[in-house]
Structure 1
């Protein structure tokens, strides 16, 4: 296996070393190498929190814990080798994902955590994701991008566009979107789309078919199913991409998947902070179910932890993010693993149980996602 990420410094390991490294990694907590990218709507939050280049105009995206996009680092006697994180999924699927998840999704990692930074930035594009039936029929995918916005941070004027207003006429909305795309009018999003205030630790659920986007001045931890390239943009606020060209709009696809019955009352009752406390055996910290919606296959739980907190994988991969607090330490039948604020980490299914507790601080909050059985 040859690492040519730095063409002037290639590195090579044997296939036996490669396989053995993946086997070891599938038995312990790990992080992937995060990826950051600017965008037309990008913000300033990640620059400071993630120690990024302050000379860049903004950072919009971060993929942190997306095996399809991220890499993993191995250390061999001081020599660092960088490999695709998908190698772990492909070569150790049962150990990483668990038998149930593997039997359902195959050698795919079904959960995705990423950041959307609009702090001092702009609104995301108004968009909708395809229903499972539509993505299967048109693009050959077996599941779709159900998702959610967890608000890591927000300014006072932050908001999220989510679902449709009561009594709107679908034909009128589509006609206005098409007219706006031709440059004839400016689409009035506030006329058709609900606009909810967003504050730190709010959780907005977004099952496929729901019109949505984050507004400016929010820092979003997006938790979603993995297929992410089928986003049907409906309106992009009259702007160009960083390349100076209009960004793709997909009204023709979008109008076939918008769920017109997801209006204000239903959205408030089902998709905005649908949070309640739950209990887990052997764990006495505060535990809250924050999502996702029953139409989505991902369960998310928020843990407020003052001391040791016991967690069991129940044979399925866990993906977590330290959403509050300076740092945390994860312990079990592996070397202690330390994570810092806003970092995503993965617990393979092969780890039966583990503990999380604050590290160099008094209290932390952790958000955990896993595939519902």
Structure 2
């Protein structure tokens, strides 16, 4: 690739959802045009939803095209060795005006066998929460397939699921197999494996504008569910101008940087880094050029960008693969 790397932003891929609203516009400045926009896919190589570069010399080029041309420079040598030309993560912002469906994601083994896909380990960072906002994360107590099916058939599934109040700054880490649902009144940043495989268990008997209920995947989900109680709520430090670890798992590492001033970014070429601005604004200074970001922006730092400076007053999620 002849063009030098630089911080890359992408056109948001906006998704209307039955449960979506308008906060992605009012809070995160996304160019939505409907009243039910539920998701902004910030960085994706999911088939049919591949991100396109929005800035600089590479504007208009797709992320997959760029990786094909320069995999080591974009992904990093270690990431390329492990994943080949696949971009292994998917980044989103979500606005839940209503409750999402109760769902579960398969692990790598099951997803590979059934869908030739990665599994879907994910995390949520709560950016905004209404006073009564809640989420569902796993079972209240250890359960079983039999108990689960009985409550599902009786339409009392919610009674055995863990219902947790959520507030801004909360982080929930969901390993595959965890039954979950984002509740009404939440805006979250979501970081996950590259996968769009979701098994929907229950959708509160909702109907769309055409009067149709959404498809459920009850049988597929049975072997995917972890029926044991799980601890998903992550505690973390917020030391200023430091990368404070929130989640460190085999699929991704996520830190939070409470930026107040400036810090140096240094990389060894092993992995890309992604920054999601969750509050405030900041700039990245690279090769005497300043790149500006505000709340709701997501930026990909190619692995070959070895040295740069972050400066501003912001809270930033920093994501890479260890």
Task: Give the TM-score taking structure 2 as reference length.
Answer: 0.91
Equivalent residues of 2:135, 2:165 under 8 A apart: yes
| Residue in 1 that maps onto 2:225 | 258
2:322 counterpart of 1:367: no
2:248 counterpart of 1:288: no
Residue deviations 1:138-157 (CA, integer Å, cap 9, x gap): 2223x311101111111111
Q: Distance in 2 between matches of 1:140 and 1:38?
A: 26
Q: Distance in 2 between matches of 1:334 and 1:133?
A: 46
Equivalent residues of 2:24, 2:94 under 8 A apart: no
User: Judging changes above 3 Å, is the alpha-carbon distance between structure 1 residues 323 and 53 closer, same or farther for their aligned structure 2 residues?
Assistant: closer
| Residue in 1 that maps onto 2:203 | 236
Q: Secondary structure at the match of 1:83?
A: coil
User: Judging changes above 3 Å, is the alpha-carbon distance between structure 1 residues 366 and 338 closer, same or farther for their aligned structure 2 residues?
Assistant: same
Structure 1 unaligned blocks of 5 or more: 1-18, 180-184, 279-283
Give how far 1:162 is off. 0.4
Q: Distance in 2 between matches of 1:108 and 1:81?
A: 20
Q: Distance in 2 between matches of 1:318 and 1:53?
A: 25
User: Judging changes above 3 Å, is the alpha-carbon distance between structure 1 residues 101 and 190 closer, same or farther for their aligned structure 2 residues?
Assistant: same
User: Judging changes above 3 Å, is the alpha-carbon distance between structure 1 residues 52 and 33 closer, same or farther for their aligned structure 2 residues?
Assistant: closer
Q: Distance in 2 between matches of 1:328 and 1:197?
A: 31
Q: Secondary structure at the match of 2:201?
A: strand
Residue deviations 1:285-335 (CA, integer Å, cap 9, x gap): 24321114x4x421000001111112223321001111111x211012362
Q: Distance in 2 between matches of 1:135 and 1:53?
A: 33
Superposition pairs of residues 46-125 of structure 1, within 5 angstroms: 46-51=24-29, 56-68=34-46, 69=49, 70-73=51-54, 82-118=60-96, 121-125=97-101
Q: Secondary structure at the match of 1:307?
A: strand
2:307 counterpart of 1:353: yes
**Equivalent of 2:168, from 200, 222, 227?**
200
Structure 2 unaligned blocks of 5 or more: none
Give how far 1:52 is off. 5.4
Q: Distance in 1 between matches of 2:105 and 2:142?
A: 22
Give how far 1:246 is off. 2.0
Superposition pairs of residues 78-227 of structure 1, within 5 angstroms: 82-118=60-96, 121-141=97-117, 143-177=118-152, 179=153, 185=154, 187-227=155-195
Q: Distance in 2 between matches of 1:73 and 1:169?
A: 48
User: Judging changes above 3 Å, is the alpha-carbon distance between structure 1 residues 172 and 331 closer, same or farther for their aligned structure 2 residues?
Assistant: same
| Residue in 2 that maps onto 1:309 | 263
Equivalent residues of 2:179, 2:225 under 8 A apart: yes
Residue deviations 1:113-157 (CA, integer Å, cap 9, x gap): 101101xx111111111011111222223x311101111111111
Equivalent residues of 2:8, 2:54 under 8 A apart: no
Equivalent residues of 1:154, 1:200 under 8 A apart: yes
Give how far 1:51 is off. 4.3
**Equivalent of 1:247, from 199, 204, 214?**
214
User: Judging changes above 3 Å, is the alpha-carbon distance between structure 1 residues 303 and 169 closer, same or farther for their aligned structure 2 residues?
Assistant: same
Task: Give the TM-score taking structure 1 as reference length.
Answer: 0.79
Give how far 1:191 is off. 1.4
Q: Distance in 1 between matches of 2:162 and 2:304?
A: 42
Aligned residues: 318
- The Cα RMSD (Å) is 2.2
Q: Distance in 2 between matches of 1:97 and 1:75?
A: 19
Q: Which has the larger strand fraction?
A: 2
Give how far 1:160 is off. 1.3
